[in-house]
Structure 1
């Protein structure tokens, strides 16, 4: 069964709200919410993202070579109703940011060249920061695994506009991490693990 199902990846498996995995993801989200004055949204559904070996292998190779893995959040929008009311069908629209990420993972080639730290993949250790990109909760949030490797810490916008030589990622801990920006510059350095719907 598993081999057959992996042919049709990515798959979304809804995690029951009573399950330990649901509790773990929900608690991570709450703990990572760094703005106490900003009300936390209610999580409606959590899905485990199942991928095949060929999707995960480049990440695993990169992780073995570069090291320093962490969980990070990435908020995005969606043009379909994936995740709502138990819908697990990934849409075919190339203009749906959520489904595009799930189908191909993150692509630096699609990154905004005008980003604050250049064309990279932007994530955050602060769930509130990532939530601000979900269209006020109408989109979705991905809990991702990220390989940080050697981190270049910066203290201001546009201090670097690409990954500096000798480093693998850039971190800007704005407001003492309340608005953390963690940027990676390799497609192989990130994979989505859980989908969170509000």
Structure 2
């Protein structure tokens, strides 16, 4: 029996109830990983000027063992390297967000679980074949830390890079999606200034982490090896709907009449009496 690399494998027993040919598996809202992903998304929405959305769905991304094995090998190599260098965090695997274009309705509901075949849909391309550092700059020409694969712990920053592409016309709605990825950060090289000339981290490091304060407002993590990252979850989110918001009682409706309001006159009171009596055909006490 062939070895199953980890629980993100298409062949893992826990993933057998997925739809045939599907690469994403919807998680129940009570699933511990759903809860963890939801917390990460909410906790790391740091843009105060952007209303915080809510997570509508989380899908586990499944990959072939051949792809997962390359990731596992790279992770083991970084782990061994850092043990020798006495870097205490080992492979330093982290979950980081990535925002990009979606040109289909993938994830809009539990029936939308099949990848589209459009070359203009990076979300589906990444889920199908993982990340490719050679694609860096195809959507955004500015490369803060050179040609690498960009992720961030800040969900609201990743949201800045989400684009619905043609899906807004074909599949109208307010739902948006982000990828949450497993990233082997290893020993990071921390920077506060832009370095667009870079194409790899400095010797002895395995990634570049941009720290906020000078050229950045929010953190970002960059890796330069395709096998340092694999997509793990598709996060579907959207604005708070009216049904989800608590009903706000207008204070004015519970407060006494304003002092500026004119009292009801005797004549207007008599007219109201007559009108109510006519409507209900019942005499009202004066």
With normalisation by structure 2, the TM-score equals: 0.63
Q: Is the 8 A contact 1:153 1:172 kept in 2?
A: yes
- CA RMSD of the aligned region, Å? 2.5
Higher fraction of strand: 1
Q: Which has the larger radius of gyration?
A: 2
- 2:160 maps to 132
Determine the structure 1 residue equivalent to 2:107.
83
Match of 2:209 among 163, 167, 171: 171
Structure 1 unmatched ranges of 5 or more: none
**Residue among 11, 14, 26 paired with 2:23:** 11
Superimposed CA distance per residue, residues 113-156 of structure 1 (whole angstroms, 9 cap, x where no aligned partner): 74111111000011111111113875420110101122111111
CA displacement at 1:38 relative to structure 2: 2.9
Deviation string for 1:79-129 (max 9, x for gaps)?
Answer: 111111220010011111100000110000111174111111000011111
Q: Distance in 2 between matches of 1:178 and 1:145?
A: 23
Counterpart of 1:96? 121
2:92 maps to 1:68? yes
The 3 A distance-change label for structure 1 pair 152 and 10 is farther
User: Which residue is equivalent to 1:154?
Assistant: 191
If asked which structure has higher relative contact order (CA below 8 Å, sep 6+), I would say 1
Aligned pair partner of 1:191 in 218, 230, 248: 230
Indicate the residue corresponding to 2:246 in structure 1. Answer: none
SS in 2 for 1:131: helix
What SS does the aligned partner of 2:115 have?
coil
Q: Structure 1 pair 10/157, CA: closer, same or farther in 2 (3 Å)?
A: farther
- 8 Å CA contact retained: 1:10, 1:49: no
Range with bigger deviation, 76-85 or 153-162: 153-162
CA distance in 1, matches of 2:198, 2:136: 13
8 Å contact from structure 1 (residues 172, 182) kept in 2: yes
Deviation at 1:3?
6.8
The alpha-carbon distance between structure 1 residues 3 and 179, as it changes in their structure 2 partners (threshold 3 A), is closer
Q: Which ranges of structure 2 fall in alignment gaps of 5 or more residues? A: 1-9, 79-90, 165-173, 238-286
**Stretches of 4+ aligned residues off by more than 6 angstroms:** none
